[in-house]
Structure 1
């Protein structure tokens, strides 16, 4: 290909801010490549610049920039220095060779230096490739295999590549988010019982996996992130954090047992009639924890949907109280509500957008929802 490239245009595509760990910005570029014969070939490319720590600074194509004591690393997608398998997952030729059948690939999501997901289509149907740092992929493969052995409905492993790539089956059913969008109506209670049965089926050996702190356990961190997004609301964010810490010490979180760890509507699949659960995905956080945090994750995410997309989720106001009341009877209600407040607090910063669309109303709605859950928790003490 050409020896010289000229950037003709660029725009910020995404900003990934991890407080205390750096900022990564993705840029969509319009580039003219000048071939040896002088011909110009115009194309679209994607580049990332990051202040995050890079553990593989000698990655081919990685450039280190310094200015006034600050350092940023720049690379062209898919040459992510922390995701050595990304270029494989994004190549139909290489994926076809690995899977032994012709496939096409489509990038679904990409969080620079952290993870990516591609959809894989072939004669055998649809599967998904998950890219992460190699140790994380090894851990994820272990969890999927553990669930498969236990008979839990979750995607099976089709390919595990030690370079940091896992290809898994497609989930059965429809996302719970779709069912919530259409309204659960008289199926809400039965569906929650089915969710309970799924959590009960998680294998006990998962208790031996790595423990990950719940959202409420990191309330100060999430309050800081929320206040960074909404600086005028810092006092409210800090008040929520202090309240969460207070009630955590005064409520019963229940015994340690296997938990999904990220149990919300996007990771749960149900039957087309929403009568029962058909499976779970994104099992990266499977391990020891408190059942109340799985319920808090579910309720917390559900409670912000009307702020995220009010036109798409008109039935949450009717369905959420059914699940909330049922969950309050299964676990300590004060613990449930305060931990749900912690989940919602963690979601406030995520409302911020870089594409120019208005997001303050969404973020403020999430903030008020966290306050409402905290108030309810105090009412249960």
Structure 2
């Protein structure tokens, strides 16, 4: 039997969960100086609850569960979803009338209870809310980020960059946005060349946006975090290969070169197109700022490759086609695009391994190896289940 993660050991001890009781790992990602890990705990009566173990060391305004350390120097903490101490507005939206009240203030009548559609513990949550006049999206974020994100959305919307304008916000960490114009790009699946032409035009226009803050990147730190956790789980030869790659990558991905305004987390899941496949909407610009254009290129390519590995059907086939075309367009040794893609792929590989999917982990690592060797993207694994596009 594999050894338990330290976070699971801590959870079992804190909640006095019997050894025989099932505890299932659901999510795990870096946060602050540590991690935040989500577990599904199944009680003797069959009732399921989701707990998070947080070793980030980040200070919060108020603890919502079990905690060690002090307010100024937090240790480990455990909370029951949705009582996320980093997102104090999450529980009021999930169980209360916070979203309904905020929407009512701007004349929107809610006709269905908010539906949680995305959640990253300690970072953000997104709710879909059906109103009388259409869909609204309520984002729950850390309170200290509200002012910057509201200003960022206003600036990019005014620059005609297809970014939806925020309709309302609350200092507690709530944003209300309308539905993006168009449909998700993957649902329409426009030809890769047409789609990427539009992406290029959008990136060129975005580069001129007068942003002053730095975009999210941290690739050297992320590369170290991913490899430190992957290496112990790999066979000796694979572990040694990853160590060698990591040393090479760390030396180059921290050099951002010329800074320009970028999305900060660009991928096709953030992009919407109209019925004829032309770009019409861009979402999740919270990460935007000044950074290396190569970071957006790498995030886009890696997400498309990881999506292909997840879906052997038509959507995965389209993602693979787009990934190859994007890499051909944006591959640039001078700014180390392939090295940046590899870091993202290591992150996807770690996520797959955390969920017990060693086969997908190995496919993603092999893809990163091929890119770092200057080779093409291997079809095996990524292309299982559908023909060559």
2:5 alignment partner in structure 1: none
Q: Kindly report which structure 2 residues correspond to 1:126-141, keeping only aligned pairs within 5 A, or say none.
A: 126-141=135-150
Q: Which moved more, 1:226-235 or 1:112-121?
A: 226-235
1:349 alignment partner in structure 2: 350
CA change 1:64–1:107 in 2 (3 A) is: same
Alpha-carbon contact 2:36-2:121 (below 8 Å) kept: no
CA distance in 1, matches of 2:235, 2:154: 44
Q: Kindly report which structure 2 residues correspond to 1:306-345, keeping only aligned pairs within 5 A, or say none.
A: 306-311=308-313, 312-328=315-331, 335-345=336-346
Alpha-carbon contact 2:143-2:171 (below 8 Å) kept: yes
Counterpart of 2:366 (choices 356, 362, 368) is 368
CA distance in 2, matches of 1:150, 1:316: 29
**Are 1:50 and 2:58 an aligned pair?**
no
Alpha-carbon contact 1:65-1:74 (below 8 Å) kept: no
CA change 1:268–1:215 in 2 (3 A) is: farther
The answer for unaligned runs of 5 or more in structure 2 is 1-16, 377-389
Q: Kindly report which structure 2 residues correspond to 1:181-192, keeping only aligned pairs within 5 A, or say none.
A: 184=190, 187-192=191-196
**TM superposition shift of 1:150:** 0.9
**TM superposition shift of 1:82:** 1.6
> Secondary structure of 2:214's match?
coil
CA distance in 1, matches of 2:252, 2:203: 25
Q: Deviations over 1:302-328 (max 9, x none)?
A: 123332222341345544433322224
CA distance in 2, matches of 1:44, 1:346: 28
Instruction: Specify which structure has the higher proportion of strand.
Output: 1
CA distance in 2, matches of 1:279, 1:152: 8
The answer for unaligned runs of 5 or more in structure 1 is 1-6, 33-41
CA distance in 2, matches of 1:43, 1:316: 38
**TM superposition shift of 1:201:** 1.8
- Count of equivalent residues: 347
CA distance in 2, matches of 1:320, 1:77: 35
CA distance in 2, matches of 1:227, 1:129: 39
Structure with higher Rg: it is 1
2:184 alignment partner in structure 1: 175
Q: Kindly report which structure 2 residues correspond to 1:262-301, keeping only aligned pairs within 5 A, or say none.
A: 262-274=265-277, 276-301=278-303
**TM superposition shift of 1:141:** 1.9
Counterpart of 1:208 (choices 205, 212, 216) is 212
CA change 1:217–1:179 in 2 (3 A) is: farther
CA distance in 2, matches of 1:217, 1:25: 22
> Secondary structure of 2:139's match?
strand
> Secondary structure of 1:98's match?
helix
CA distance in 1, matches of 2:50, 2:36: 17
CA distance in 2, matches of 1:226, 1:265: 27
Return the structure number with greater relative CO, CA threshold 8 A, min gap 6. Answer: 1
> Secondary structure of 1:24's match?
strand
CA change 1:243–1:285 in 2 (3 A) is: same
Q: Which moved more, 1:288-297 or 1:236-245?
A: 236-245
Counterpart of 2:152 (choices 143, 157, 178) is 143
Q: Kindly report which structure 2 residues correspond to 1:72-151, keeping only aligned pairs within 5 A, or say none.
A: 72-91=76-95, 93-100=97-104, 101-103=109-111, 104-151=113-160
**TM superposition shift of 1:278:** 1.4
Alpha-carbon contact 2:34-2:56 (below 8 Å) kept: yes
> Secondary structure of 2:275's match?
coil
Alpha-carbon contact 2:272-2:282 (below 8 Å) kept: yes
**TM superposition shift of 1:44:** 6.0
> Secondary structure of 1:82's match?
coil
**TM superposition shift of 1:28:** 4.6
CA distance in 2, matches of 1:50, 1:73: 5
Counterpart of 1:62 (choices 65, 72, 78) is 65
Q: Deviations over 1:23-63 (max 9, x none)?
A: 4334455599xxxxxxxxx976544343443523744x533
2:8 alignment partner in structure 1: none
What's the C-alpha RMSD, in Å, of the aligned pairs?
3.4
**TM superposition shift of 1:188:** 1.9
**Are 1:25 and 2:25 an aligned pair?**
no
